[in-house]
Structures are given as C-alpha cells and as structure tokens.
Amino acid sequence: MKLDVNSLRYLTKAHFRVLTAIEMGMRNHELVPMQLVESIAKVRTGGVHKLMGDLLRNSLVHRDRSKYEGYRLTYMGYDYLALHTFVARGTITGLGRQIGVGKESDIYLAVDGEGRQMALKLHRLGRISFRNVRNKRDYMRNRQAKPGSWLYLSRLACLKEYAFMTALHDHEFPVPEPIDQNRHAILMSLCEGFPMTQVRHVAQPEVAYSELMELILRLARCGLIHGDFNEYNLILGYDEKITLIDFPQMISTNHPNAQIYFDRDCQGVADFFRSRLGYHGSELPLFTDIGAREINLDQEVQASGFSEEHKQKFNKLMSEQTKEMGEEEEEEQQGQNDDEMAVLKQETDGDVTRDVKAQVATEGETKGEVTGSDSVITLDVVSLISKVSEDEESERDVVEPGTSFLDQASRTLDKEETSTTAETARSTTNSATPIKLELSAEEIKEKVRRSMRQKKGGKGKKGGSKSKKNQNKNRDKRRLMTQARNDR
C-alpha cells in the first residue's frame, strides 16, 4: 500500500476527531456504527456525514455493510493519525520517498524542522501478500482475523521493538537511535550504508565475521537472543561498521527454545560469509560459550516500555492467531469467493462487539530494509504541515466540498427504483414516448403504433402529426409543379 500524505495537509481538526472516534470505537467493536462515532467525536449535527465522506474518498476509513452499516480504520487512516501526532509534537515536518519494504513493515525517509534525515518505520502486520510465511515464521494471517486486530497487533509489535531499541541503544549496542514512537510508527535515526544482502565484497571479512559473532555472544550475555540475525537485518556502513536492526522477535536466554535460535543466528552468519563472500570462518560459538550474564536486559526491557501486561496480551493473541494455519492454506487455494463464503458461514450475527484484544499478535520484521544508497541522499519531501488555518477550521467542517456518501447512496437507490425498460418494434433516431409498465399489453401496442404513425407523418406546429387534408394539398402542389416543369 502506497502512503500518500498529500491529503494530510488539508484535513481539519474535525476530520481527526472522527478518525480518533473510530479508533476508540474499534476497541470493543468490529465495526463502529455511525451513532457511536457521532457520540464520541461530538461534531455538530450533520457534520459527521460530510467528514466521513471525505475520509472515505481518501481511503482512510472503510465502510462495511455485511452485518450492519459500520466503519473501521484502514492502515492509511492509522498512518495519518500517527503522522498527525508526530507533527503536533514537532518531531517530523516532512515525509520523503519509500526506502524499504518488508513482510510486516514499510520504511520511509522523514525530516524534522532542522532538516535532519530520519527513518520512519510503519508496522503493517497481516499484509495479505505475505500470507505464506508459516515455514519461516511462527505465525500467519488467519482468515477469521478482524481488520481492527491487525492495527492493535501492529501497535503491540511497535511498542516491543521500541522498548528493545531504547534499551540496546542505552547500553551502547550498534543499533539506530530511537527518536519517537506513536501507535504503530517508530521514528529512528537514519543509518548510512547498505544492507548486508546487497554486499558482494568486504575489505576485511575476518574482522566483520568476528564482530558479528561477538555481537551475538554479547547479546546473549545480556539475556537476549535476536532470533533473526541475518544479512537482511544488518547494515554495513561506509566505514564498514555494522548496525543491527529489527528487534520485535527477540527472546530471552531463558526461553525454552533459546538454544535453537542462538544456533540458528550463528549458522546464518556463517552461511552468508561462506556463500556470498567466500570466507570460511572459525568454529561456531556454542550456547554453552555464553558465560556469565552481565546484565538482565530482558527484564529491563519489560520495565522500560513493553510491560508484562503487554507481553501477556501479545503472547495470547499470537497463540490464538496460529490456530488452523494448515486449514487456511487449503482453503485459500479454492479462491477468494470460497473463502468469503466460509467466513460468512462461521460468523454469527451477534458477534459484532467482540473485543479487539481477542485477536492475534504478530511480529514486525522488515526484510530488505534499506536506509540509504549514497553518502548524501536527496529527498523529495512532502510537507506535513497543514495548510488550513484555525479560523477556517472553525468555520467549516470539510475542506473539499462534495456530496456525502449517504446522499450518493440514496440517489443510487432512487435511480434503481425509478428506472424502467421497454422493447420497441424497431429502433428509431428520435426518442419514443415513455411506456409505463402498469399499462396493459393492448395499450402498449396502441401507443407504439401511434408513435410510429407520428414519426412517419412528421411534426406539425404543435408537435403532432399532420392532418390528411394538409398531406393531400401538399401532394397536389408537388404534382402541379412537376407538370409545369415538364411543359417548359
């Protein structure tokens, strides 16, 4: 999904009040009804419908009528809420091009008021194009997962990564500097360099190999295991310094599968250096070589932002989301229509207010995250500063006038009810007299014959057919004119 922020500058405070009202309603509603949006947003009567029409045109919300008419936020609307908060805080003033796309996140260039370049990571868990990841990850998208749950899970994954990044940066690990976080978005410092997956040559491969192995051991001595330590999550700087990114999947060394993930991280680094750089390193470190623990960073991370309550919610939702993974792949092969029918059969009419917290949590991993290709990156920045003054916001609810979606829907229904069709004996150049469906068959035939006679005879002064007397008079005049011409 491409993030278009041009409309962000023209949205008023009333628009964001409606977006925030929908976000609050999605805490315990699958679809937020209009009455609830009006009560939370507290916009003047009739204004919510106009504002909702603008949000629908910009794909910030989605309207669903499967069970009842309700609304939910899209990822675009969630992005707008996070960006609006960053702009209000003054941490970001413009957004540049997209520099990375991962399975569960997108990376964009951003700038602040002083012109400093930063990286904006937007978590997008549940991306449809990455459903078949259960062979690589321990979760996948369940077709019964509600759209609101993915927004909530993206927020949890973002909180987890921001907590890890903050703790690692405070202990001087080679990670980006965390700047700000809101909802599912993280603002961090921009790392100049290339991802290791694009590297074909390293000046000193033995030094880089030893640094990476020592980094794995150092993390383990602090009580953490990265879990996805590979070339996709390592950035090689221009001075050949390595930066580690992507942390939502990190686990503690006390985890039951800690040794498996530790060995996998070490083996992944060794395979990359052997296949890509042609360097065969020394023997791989073992889990028993970690030694004594230096600090309890895994416990500190929970205290710094990702609390025990968040952890329990995250693990609970992830365990629920991983149910019936094998069944989903078989059902997906039957086509989207079969999937939708199966969903409708399994859903009940009373299940419209279930809590968003009963959904599934996933991780925010970014494969192929790129932070720059040149020492100086040129930015085509789109300003996020609103062009609508506060006076204009108080005078009007919407910036772009237009017909609300309710008016458009009513007009469509009226057209469907009043449209009628009739078959004529043959097509004519002029439109025939409209035929009412409630007429009998004989009356319809009589009107058709009358209409055909009028077209053959032409139109008189009053638009009707000419009389037979006038037709004979004209025929006599033409006959006399023809005789006179022949006599000459």
pLDDT digits (tens, 9 = 90+) for 475-487: 888 888 888 888 8
CB 274 within 8 Å of CB 236: no
| Burial environment of residue 196 by CB neighbours within 10 A (0 to 12, 13 to 18, 19 or more) | buried
pLDDT of 367 reads 37
Q: At 57, phi and psi to the nearest 5?
A: -65, -30
List 95's β-bridge partners, or say none.
Answer: 110, 382
Can you give 40-82 as a three-state secondary structure string?
Answer: HHCCCCCHHHHHHHHHHHCCCEEEECCCCCEEEECHHHHHHHH
Annotate 340-388 with DSSP letters as a single string.
HHHHHHH--TTTTS--GGGS-------TT----SSSS----PEE-S--S
pLDDT of 372 reads 38
With vertex at residue 47, the alpha carbon angle to CA 43 and CA 51, rounded to the nearest 5 degrees, is 100
Q: Could you give the percent of the chain with pLDDT greater than 90? A: 39
Three-class SS state of 178? strand
Highest CATH level, class, for 93-325+342-383: mainly alpha
Q: What is the mean pLDDT of residues 149-163?
A: 88
Query: Where are any strands of DSSP class E within 140-294?
Result: 178-182, 185-189, 194-195, 224-225, 234-236, 242-244, 251-252
To 10 degrees, the CA torsion angle through 16, 21, 25, 26? 0
pLDDT of 392 reads 47
Q: Is the pLDDT of residue 139 over 50?
A: no
Per-residue pLDDT of 378-391, as tens digits, reads: 456 788 776 654 44
- pTM (global) more than 0.95: no
The reply to whether 106 belongs to the active site is no
pLDDT of 43 reads 84
pLDDT of 481 reads 86
Work out the pLDDT band at 365, boundaries 50, 70, 90. Answer: very low
**Active-site residue, from 228, 246, 265, 397:** 228
Q: What is the mean pLDDT of residues 245-273?
A: 91
Pairing type for strands 117-123 and 105-111 reads: antiparallel
Region class of 420: left (phi > 0), else alpha (psi between -120 and 50), else beta? beta
Per-residue pLDDT of 14-71, as tens digits, reads: 999 999 999 999 988 889 999 999 999 988 767 899 999 999 999 999 999 988 899 9
**Average per-residue pLDDT for the chain:** 75
- Domain residue ranges in the chain: 93-325+342-383, 422-479
pLDDT of 314 reads 61
Q: Is the pLDDT of residue 398 over 50?
A: no
